[in-house]
Structure 1
Amino acid sequence: MADFRGERMPSPEGEGRAKNALEAAWTAYFKANKAINKRIFGAFPELREMLRGQTGARVLDLMGFWFMWQACGGFEGTQRALGISRAQMYKRIALFRQAFGEHPDVSEFPGVTIDPAEFAVGLAEKVKNAQKD
């Protein structure tokens, strides 16, 4: 396993690109939905903390599953890439549909696009370069 301690980033956030983009998006969202958020969290102040851990982990898992579905070419490619059973695939599809209301094959997220061909070529290049080092 590679040791990257000698090539430290300025912070755990790296250059902070993802964090800055998300903070800007969250600020815009919050401003647009301030009245609704205030009422919900005012009525249920414990709701935010109670759901944060479980919701965050579930969303991370399901978004990763969606990404793999798109990048690996659907059911069989994702199953092969993740090394999971057919039953687990169906369970994840059901969880995804429950959370996002549609099948991962047709689900789209605004601002997120995946080009499987470009991803495959780029990943192969990254692996090749990493093996040189």
Structure 2
Amino acid sequence: MPSPEGEGNAKHALEQAWAAYYRVNRSANKPLFAVFPALKAALKGYAASSLLDVFGFWVMWRLNGGFEGTQKALGLSRPAMYRRIAMFREVFKEHPDVFEIPGITVDPVAFAEGMKARVEQRDG
């Protein structure tokens, strides 16, 4: 046995199949390949925006004490909250209530006290 792949028959067959698939579809996919750099750039912005949305949702969830507090703070309907939770779970594979981000701690009490002090300072 020359490698962990054995003689490599299965790997070789798969590589041949992909090569044949690519040859057949190359001409059909040429227009798609031509716009791929632009498509990639457009999706990069969307991905970054989506990540920012779900990260911000997690912070709001933590600062506002979960579902009801976040719903009230953001003015979202119940279905909108469920959509946000589903989007969060799709990205991070966990519910925002149990998800932890290493190195980031959210302190709702310190946040509330700090915001109260800022409002009082601003309003004089």
TM superposition score normalised by structure 2: 0.66
Residue 83 (structure 2) aligns with: 91
Task: State which structure, 1 or 2, has the greater radius of gyration over its C-alpha atoms.
Answer: 2
- Helix, strand or coil at the partner of 1:49: helix
Greater RCO, 1 or 2 (C-alpha within 8 Å, sep 6+): 2
TM superposition score normalised by structure 1: 0.62
Paired positions, count = 89
- Helix, strand or coil at the partner of 2:60: helix
Runs of 4+ in 1 over 4 A off after TM superposition: 44-48
Task: Provide the rounded CA distance (Å) in 2 between the counterparts of 1:48 and 1:113.
Answer: 33
- Helix, strand or coil at the partner of 1:105: coil
Q: Deviations over 1:83-110 (max 9, x none)?
A: 1100000000000000111000011111
- Helix, strand or coil at the partner of 1:62: helix
Matching residue's letter, 1:62: V
Aligned Cα RMSD in Å? 1.6
Task: Provide the rounded CA distance (Å) in 2 between the counterparts of 1:96 and 1:47.
Answer: 24
Match of 1:103 among 89, 95, 120: 95
Match of 1:75 among 52, 56, 67: 67
Task: Provide the rounded CA distance (Å) in 2 between the counterparts of 1:91 and 1:81.
Answer: 16
Task: Provide the rounded CA distance (Å) in 1 between the counterparts of 2:55 and 2:118.
Answer: 22
Any unmatched runs of 5+ in structure 2?
Answer: 1-35
Residue 51 (structure 2) aligns with: 59
| 1:48 CA displacement | 5.3
Task: Provide the rounded CA distance (Å) in 2 between the counterparts of 1:62 and 1:93.
Answer: 9
After superposition, residues 43-54 of structure 1 pair within 5 angstroms as 49-54=41-46
| 1:131 CA displacement | 1.5
Match of 1:129 among 112, 121, 124: 121
Any unmatched runs of 5+ in structure 1?
Answer: 1-43
